[in-house]
Structure 1
């Protein structure tokens, strides 16, 4: 299945899910932590992170995985715990946990399959996808809404 084949008649800009003040704080933090990222890209990252989290909260049991750039947004958002908890509750009715995958667990899914599954789920949920921010997903077994050991974790997303 291709992403275009499941696109709903109308889509939502995921940045509209984020309060303007929260967007400002998160954008500023992305730039502070990653000075190579410009303000416009940082805002887009926050928007795509909002879509990923909203979709993840509604798709329990489906292994979705952020791109490396969206993972940056997720980690920044988690640092703003009150904003993060309120957003998760508002868009999905539950907190979206970010839990490390035990070293003994591996995903049977390829990164390409994870990307397709994630983007299809987000598109079906009605969100506009910014494909420039999704060239690949974070390596499966390193980061998903169910498990993580993400690309910017202290061990760099590498198995010990």
Structure 2
């Protein structure tokens, strides 16, 4: 039997240069009123989410309310974000808002979407900061503007 410890898991921050990680952390702290420690956790989990999205085969993944600002701030650094996407995925990782008028996007609860994403991140070998991925019944929506997901199209 193999036992996996937290030390065996990858951190999202390992996917980018430390200077870029710091720049994103500072941006999240400033724009979303977090201390640097919380902002670093958010950016780390956004990167783990994106790293998982890059290779995930299956339905689209969805960030939590807590993690989504890390993705949003990274997207604003378009040159860095595009280079990151090309390096880890070989393609651009689009941010796709959920269309509340599309029946294909309805029916899955936020709890199920977040749990599916958390399971995928863990399966990909990343550390999951469970405080930033609420899976309790209190989750009202998966994140920004009624939900958004990663793209699955290559």
Q: TM-score range by the shorter chain?
A: 0.7 to 0.9
Is the CA contact (8 Å cut-off) linking 2:25 and 2:36 kept in structure 1?
Answer: yes
Three-state SS of the structure 1 residue aligned to 2:128 is coil
Greater shift after overlay, 22-31 or 138-147? Answer: 138-147
Greater shift after overlay, 99-108 or 50-59? Answer: 99-108
Question: 1:59 matched to which residue of 2?
Answer: 56
Whole-angstrom distance in 2 between the partners of 1:126 and 1:38: 27
Question: 2:138 matched to which residue of 1?
Answer: none
Whole-angstrom distance in 1 between the partners of 2:31 and 2:23: 12
Per-residue CA distance 1:47-106 (angstroms, 9 max, x = gap): 100110111121254221101111000110010001111111122222100133334113
Per-residue CA distance 1:100-155 (angstroms, 9 max, x = gap): 333411332111111111011111111000111111542795211139xxxxxxxx
The alpha-carbon deviation at position 8 of structure 1 amounts to: 5.6
Count of residue pairs the alignment pairs up: 140
Scaled by the length of structure 1, the TM-score of the pair is: 0.78
Question: 1:72 matched to which residue of 2?
Answer: 69
Question: 2:121 matched to which residue of 1?
Answer: 122
Question: 2:148 matched to which residue of 1?
Answer: 143
Whole-angstrom distance in 1 between the partners of 2:146 and 2:59: 14
Indicate whether 1:133 and 2:138 are aligned. no
Unaligned runs of 5+ in 2: 136-141
- CA 1:79–1:28 in 2, change beyond 3 Å: closer, same or farther? same
